[in-house]
Amino acid sequence: MILVGVETEDNYPIFTDTMYELKSLTETAHGEVVFQLEQKRPQVDRQSVIGKGKLVELAQLVDAYEADLVIFNHELTPRQSQIISEAVGIAVIDRVQLILDIFALRARSREGKLQVELAQLNYLLPRLVGQGKALSRLGGGIGTRGPGETKLETDRRHIRRKITLIKLELKEVAEHRERSRQKRQQSDLFQIGLIGYTNAGKSTILNLLTSADTYSQDQLFATLDPLTKRWQLPQGMVVTVTDTVGFMQQLPTQLIEAFQSTLEESRNMDLLLHVVDASASDRLNQERTVIKLMEDLGMAQIPVLTVYTKADRLDANEFVPTLFPNVLINAKSTQGKEALTKAVRRTLMEQLAPYERLVPANQGQILSELKRQTLLLTEDYQEAENAYLVKGFAKKESKWGNEHELDE
């Protein structure tokens, strides 16, 4: 594969990082990069992105390296894609299509597969003209996973019908997810969501806290389908922890639209753990990207604890955090789990409402529920009242966080 990127007045601060990401994305999709063609221009060429001269050079590079695919670090219009493909004689895809391909590779659940297929079909619908020949030569490689060649070569009416059917199926799945979410909310369980840049270490954190045995690899978009697990804190309180898909710069709009039901999981959290790779060379850009997407997705009002991971890859004495509150950990160490647990506990105490109650000694069930559903700090037996004086923190809207008496 040959990668192509144009550094312009608009993207120069992040150009190097996005090209590195494009290479990582290609490798994640099981592709081999043989050459990177880069160009500086005030803005991209409206016809071919890189201009006529560079287009000739690209065609020569394709022949010289016997490349079978060209991947652009820009979203191509249907016309641009057709012009470039005809000039170089092989299939041409862009960053969006590459990411969609990886999502098709990673999707495991029925919902995940449907969402990816919907995003791919919506993206490819205006690009059907002129694609058949190139895609037929490409075979089953990068850019053709998911819907596949046969769907891409059918007429627009069939594609639109397929999109409608997928949306209906997704609506059913979303309704089921909503029912599950409401059950969790009604159970008074505190809900924690993991968000962050792709490959920051979210799945590793989930595995660390819950022993979830989730797929966790040093790859972009290693996790696609949201996964919710229970985590019992040392004090006994049970919370849920939900892992979701990672964000990245220039995340395709089609993906955000397709994954609305999945992203709803994060919107309803009581606390977000923003996982950040502390060793990333472009850490500040990654932080800004996630914060911007959180604002766009209506999640800016949710309390956030920033978890800086991969502390083993840097000098902790020289590390300067930029987001607060935060905790710096090595997720692969016992000390890392302890530090994260303490930070979460401290944050819970700030978010929850303090309570103090007398629980009669013969109401052990209530004491047991308090241990599971609240952050119970102390329980002292009061001999005079034959009851336990309990102190802790609970969700304000729960039955423990209001002024109701326990024996009502």
Q: What residue numbers does the annotated binding site for GTP cover?
A: 196-203, 221-225, 243-246
Q: How far, in Å, CA of 217 to CA of 304, rounded?
A: 25
119 burial via Cβ count (<10 Å: 0-12, 13-18, 19+): buried
Those residues whose C-beta lies under 8 Å from the C-beta of residue 397, and which sit 6 or more positions away, are: none
Residue 23, CB half-sphere, CA atoms under 13 Å: how many? 12
Label residues 273-305 b or e (16+ Cβ within 10 Å = b): bbbbbbebebbebbbebbbebbeebebeebebb
Q: How far, in Å, CA of 360 to CA of 395, rounded?
A: 22
What number of other Cβ atoms are within 10 A of residue 187's Cβ?
Answer: 13
86: tokens are 């005809």
- Look up residue 89 and give its DSSP letter: S
Return the sign of the alpha-carbon dihedral for residues 146, 152, 154, 160.
positive
Q: What residue numbers does the annotated binding site cover?
A: 196-203, 221-225, 243-246
In 348-386, which ranges are E strands? 353-360, 375-382
348: tokens are 């819970």
- Look up residue 311 and give its DSSP letter: G
Q: What is the CA radius of gyration of the chain?
A: 25
Q: What residue numbers does the annotated binding site for Mg(2+) cover?
A: 203, 223
If we measure between CA atoms, which residue out of 274, 269, 205, 204 comes closest to residue 240? 269
Q: Which residues pair with 239 in a beta bridge?
A: 190, 231
CB 270 within 8 A of CB 303: yes
- Look up residue 252 and give its DSSP letter: -
Those residues whose C-beta lies under 8 Å from the C-beta of residue 356, and which sit 6 or more positions away, are: 389, 390, 391
If we measure between CA atoms, which residue out of 66, 122, 63 comes closest to residue 87? 63
Strands 190-196, 238-243: pairing is parallel
Describe the strand order of the beta sheet including 91-94 as a list of residue ranges.
35-40, 2-7, 69-72, 91-94
